Copies of this chain bind each other. A is one copy, B any other.
């Protein structure tokens, strides 16, 4: 459905103020001191009286500015994306731009679709905040779409690696996860489990790689690290914990590649009577706000998500630079009480 009836237009205003269309345009939407104060006043009053609202589409079409940007993410209720969105929205707002949000719920088709729609809207910039998908077809299609965006004079930027040319805000997934793995190893853990999401998400790959590398550095051979894959979500975390338990858990520590998964896992573990960290240490990634409030507070790696979103939007909006930039974001290890040294007790899942 489009808007059928129309409101007052610029010519209505011009007529009411007894000036030419061009003058009205300059007075209302043009730069400053270009129209005589007398006319300007008359025009502004007429506009107010008539309830004139400029038609952004006409403005855009006539070569004016659009001042809109697009943001593609998976799910706004996921605190990870919400934080990124907050930063991106704030940055856009600072430059006077409106943000259009597309929720993909992890579908690459939907993601491509949104980029296309944003292009149709002639947005000035697009920020892609999903995880990159390690899929050639997707990558080729997205690359083409984004090339178009660029040729049309617009910008774009990624949050986290997508293996597609463009500006990138790159959190230190590898390093952060390595610190986590190392910390666990140093705590004496010798049998680790990692609950990863779908392995075609580049973020997941990097975190797992880093974790394994860190653990190895701490003396835990990769062969002692079990890997279980489940969706990158709270339910996925729950499922991972269940699988771990059902399989006769031999690990003394569990790394969930994202906090949201860790939350689900903690739920499940607690329900099953597994004590954290006594029976099993638990770590997540991102340091989403509720992590510190859980029982026990969960160790994780902190990323400044809001700044990441803001930076990505700034990069996407910056049409000055020539080449593509990569902004590295540090990851900070945050140890809380969900991690403890391995005790002499053999961990089991039968005690409170």
Interface flag for A124 (CB, 8 Å) = yes
Interface flag for A85 (CB, 8 Å) = yes
Complex contact A124–B58 (CB within 8 A)? no
Complex Cα gap A73–B41 (Å): 34
Which B residues touch A83, using CB under 8 A? 77
Complex contact B101–A3 (CB within 8 A)? no
Copies of the protein in its oligomer: 2
Complex Cα gap A117–B29 (Å): 13
Interface flag for A143 (CB, 8 Å) = no
Which B residues touch A290, using CB under 8 A? 290, 293
Which B residues touch A201, using CB under 8 A? none
Partner pick for A76 among B68, B85, B319, CB 8 A cutoff: B85
Interface flag for A148 (CB, 8 Å) = yes
Mask for A145-169, Cβ within 8 A of B = 1, else 0?
0001001111000000000000000
Q: Closest CB-CB distance, A52 to chain B, in whole Å?
A: 9
Interface flag for A120 (CB, 8 Å) = yes
Which B residues touch A101, using CB under 8 A? 89, 99-101
Complex contact B119–A53 (CB within 8 A)? yes
Which B residues touch A30, using CB under 8 A? none
Q: Closest CB-CB distance, A216 to chain B, in whole Å?
A: 33
Complex contact A103–B93 (CB within 8 A)? yes
Complex Cα gap A120–B317 (Å): 22
Q: Closest chain B residue to A97 by CB distance?
A: B1
Complex contact B86–A75 (CB within 8 A)? yes
Which B residues touch A267, using CB under 8 A? 293
Which B residues touch A2, using CB under 8 A? 60, 63-67, 122, 124
Q: Contacts A51-B144, A76-B85, A319-B1; is A6 near B57 (CB within 8 Å)?
A: no
Q: Closest chain B residue to A4 by CB distance?
A: B153
Partner pick for A151 among B7, B67, B122, B154, CB 8 A cutoff: B7
Complex Cα gap A5–B147 (Å): 13
Which B residues touch A103, using CB under 8 A? 86, 89-90, 93
Complex Cα gap A119–B124 (Å): 19
Q: Closest CB-CB distance, A83 to chain B, in whole Å?
A: 6
Complex contact B98–A98 (CB within 8 A)? no
Complex Cα gap A114–B6 (Å): 20
Complex contact A82–B76 (CB within 8 A)? yes
Complex Cα gap A53–B319 (Å): 21
Complex contact B153–A5 (CB within 8 A)? yes
Q: Closest CB-CB distance, A87 to chain B, in whole Å?
A: 9
Interface flag for A102 (CB, 8 Å) = yes
Complex Cα gap A144–B7 (Å): 13
Can you list 26 A-B pairs, Cβ within 8 angstroms, ordered by A?
A1-B65, A1-B317, A2-B63, A2-B66, A2-B67, A2-B124, A3-B154, A4-B153, A7-B148, A7-B151, A7-B152, A51-B144, A53-B120, A53-B152, A55-B120, A57-B57, A68-B121, A75-B86, A76-B85, A77-B83, A82-B82, A98-B121, A99-B101, A100-B100, A101-B101, A290-B293
